[in-house]
Structure 1
Amino acid sequence: MPQVLNKQVADIGHGLMGMTWTDTPTPIEDALKVMKRSIEVSGGRVAWNGGEFYGPPEHNSLHLLKAYFTKYPEDADKVVLCIKGGVNMQTFQPDGSYELLSSSVDNCNAILGGVKKIDQFEPARRDPNHTPTQIIQNLARIEKEGKIGGISLSEVGEQTIREAAKAAEELGTKVSSVEVEFSLASPDILHNGVAKACADFNIPIYAYSPIGRGLLSGKVKSLADANWFAKISPRFQEGNLEENLKLVAEVEQLAEKKGCTPAQIAIAWVKNYSNKPGMPTIIPIPGASSVSRVEENLNSTITLSDDDMKHLNEAVEKVDIKGGRYPEAHSKLNWG
């Protein structure tokens, strides 16, 4: 099993965003059943990923977590909890200052009310007004104060990772994970130095959107089929989606051959790279907002042979994915 902060976790984690940051939030009792099943499917040890801004101030990931661990306090040690924050909630811009980061952590801990410690805290994006070293110094101070268990980073590039990792080492701590997008439709980390930097510093990667925001599930054939955030993604717009479905067809073909779902193939492809030569530990964290989806997406029994990987990687090379990962207005802080 992979290790995060010296704790074993299942090789597939669970992204909580879709239960609160969506057009139709999951009813609280249903969400608790989903979260309970997430632990069960994972064999009693799993990484969960949530956010301070995943939903409105009165109902975000922290509120779900408070409800869950109040009902199931015995499960607190079964979850490695990573929380995104560090965003000015008035401007919705990242702020790497000690004051904002500390306030963000304090708010998250206040909502949790002591039912669960934040094992890992990560600024959602790198604040370009602070150097990676400054951000790490501020996070290390918060860690030393005992408010968080570890430091993580999100949506960062190779140079930020390297500088941050060195700064953390000098302070006697470490970067405990890096969260970045990684999927058949977004294989960037294989070529932009991010995976190599994480491998060099033995930093696990949380791979978010391993199903490409639903694209690779095979269930999205038109923009109308896309979920909440995907509807504004360039990849789902007319003219782009038609081209991108060529990659989906290859995934569907393999899924039919192996008797599983396209989403399971997409997640297995991500998982297959974990700890390969020159690669770090990679833990896909698909979203799941229903029990059936948890059982599908967190099923780690799906494996891919060398021939399967060759088929998929040839498809990735052959199909030129059209459209960016985010709308242009949201893209300026990518790979920060």
Structure 2
Amino acid sequence: MKTRMLGELEVSILGLGCMGMSDFYSGRDEEESIRTIHRSLELGVSFFDTAADYGIGKNEELLGKVLKGHRHEAVIATKFGIVRGADDAFLGANGRPEYIKSSCEASLRRLGTDYIDLYYQHRVDPDTPIEETVGAMSDLVREGKVRYIGLSEAAPATIRRANTVHPVTALQTEYSLWSREVEDEILPTCRELGIGFVAYSPLGRGFLTGQIQKFEDLAEDDYRRFSPRFQGGHFQKNLDLVAKIREIAKEKGCEPSQLALSWLIAQGENIVPIPGTKRRKYLEQNVGALDIMLTETELALIEEALPKGTASGERYPETAMKGVNL
């Protein structure tokens, strides 16, 4: 397995997003999720992404249970800052120092470890200066509870302010063939400051796999039903874009998902995608993307098929969009 550097942190070139094993997507199967994590280690995909928010702690518990006895093989990234009520309602972002420290202690207990490799602020708290938030995160590094710190969905100005308090190792933000906004300012800022970039939803929440062909393919409890890009006229427009990717992938002799991941990996040495899956079949398929080498001609064809800004609809519903790029 090849590796890449997120700042000074070495990780596998591909990570595993664990969110869907415990939350948001339908068809969850804990036993298959456990087998998928074990298979990930076997394949060398050792960079695991979770959050206190996912399943309100359940995802961290699952990962901690599976990695017991394998801690030295894994790089664990988790996040704090999205607050949810007992009824799953989203209550906003919290970046206050006292909250961060208690949240870290809770994550350590659930993960069954005494340190977190990469600790992100999941969403920027508009009511708490980023300097105070990062100052508390820096305290956790000094205490040995956290090795490196990161931000998620932060704006360039916020990244710069944070980095003056403590080196930011990685920024995690959505990036894929149909979410390329980061190319304008965020990626250049990360490169200038030597910050790694972790791309979540690199397969467009499954849309770029070509497996979703109609809205009814999404189960009633699947949160993508509330995503603008999966609704109404947006759905068909985006489906037409994916059809182009399927054509190029067919010509290349690979899966659309592999083409999308290979494209993303080719966008820069500081980029590490973390496709999420809860099944070994798709994990193995994603790892197969590492064998797909795209030529300049093929990259140009992909660019022509899905130029920046062509995806139809916002990434999140209106209320959630207010919490990104702060």
Verify same fold: TM over 0.5: yes
Provide the residue aligned with 2:169 in structure 1: 176
Among 312, 328, 331, the residue aligned to 2:321: 331
Asked if residue 197 in structure 1 is aligned to residue 189 in structure 2, the reply is: yes
8 Å contact kept, 1:82–1:118:
yes
> For residue 10 of structure 1, what is the aligned residue in structure 2?
12
Cα distance, 1:298 vs structure 2: 2.5
Q: Which amino acid aligns with 1:53?
A: D
State the shift of 1:92 in Å. 2.7
Structure 2: how far apart are the matches of 1:96 and 1:155?
Answer: 14
Counterpart contact for 1:18–1:25, Cα < 8 Å = no
Cα offset, 1:88, TM superposition: 3.0
Q: Superposed, which structure 2 residues align to 1:1-336 within 5 Å?
A: 1-4=3-6, 6-22=8-24, 24=26, 26-42=28-44, 46-57=46-57, 60-70=58-68, 73=69, 75-90=70-85, 92-114=91-113, 117-168=115-166, 174-191=167-184, 193-226=185-218, 228-275=222-269, 281-299=270-288, 300-317=290-307, 320-336=310-326
SS in 1 for 2:232: coil
Cα distance between partner residues in 2 of 1:263 and 1:125: 27
Q: Relative to 1, partners in 2 of residues 1:113 and 1:319: Cα closer, same or farther, differing over 3 Å?
A: closer
**For residues 61 and 20 of structure 1, what CA distance do their matches in structure 2 show?**
5
1:28 offset after TM fit, Å? Answer: 3.0
Preserved CA contact (<8 Å) 2:95 2:125: yes
Measured in 1, the distance between the counterparts of 2:63 and 2:276 equals 15
Question: How many angstroms does 1:319 deviate by?
Answer: 7.3
- Alignment length, in residue pairs? 317
Q: Distance in 1 between matches of 2:105 and 2:255?
A: 41
SS at match of 1:239: helix
2:81–2:93 CA contact under 8 A, matched in 1: yes
In 2, distance between residues paired with 1:145 and 1:29? 35
- TM (norm. structure 1) is 0.89
Distance 2:225 2:73 in 1: 34
Q: Deviations over 1:120-169 (max 9, x none)?
A: 1111100001222222112111222222111110111111111111221x
SS for the counterpart of 1:51 is: coil
The superposition leaves residues 270-325 of structure 1 with CA deviations (integer Å, 9 ceiling, x where unpaired) of 111123xxxxx000100010010110113211221111110111122287321100
Deviation per CA, 1:162-199, whole angstroms, max 9, x where unpaired?
1111221xxxxx111110000010011111x1001100
Structure 2 length as normaliser, TM-score?
0.92
SS where residue 176 of structure 1 aligns?
strand
Where 1:323 maps in the other structure, the secondary structure is coil
What is the distance in 1 between the residues matched to 2:8 and 2:72? 13
- Secondary structure of 2:50's aligned partner: strand
- State the secondary structure of the residue aligned to 1:303: coil
Structure 1 distance, partners of 2:67, 2:307, is 44
**1:31 match: secondary structure:** helix
Letter in 2 for 1:156: A
Q: Which runs of 5+ in 1 are unaligned?
A: 169-173, 276-280
1:99 match: secondary structure: helix
Q: Which secondary structure does the structure 2 equivalent of 1:199 belong to?
A: helix
Q: CA deviation at 1:8?
A: 3.0
Distance in 2 (alpha carbons) for counterparts of 1:176 and 1:207? 14
Closer, same or farther: CA 318–332 of 1 in aligned 2, 3 Å: closer
Identical aligned residues as a percent = 29
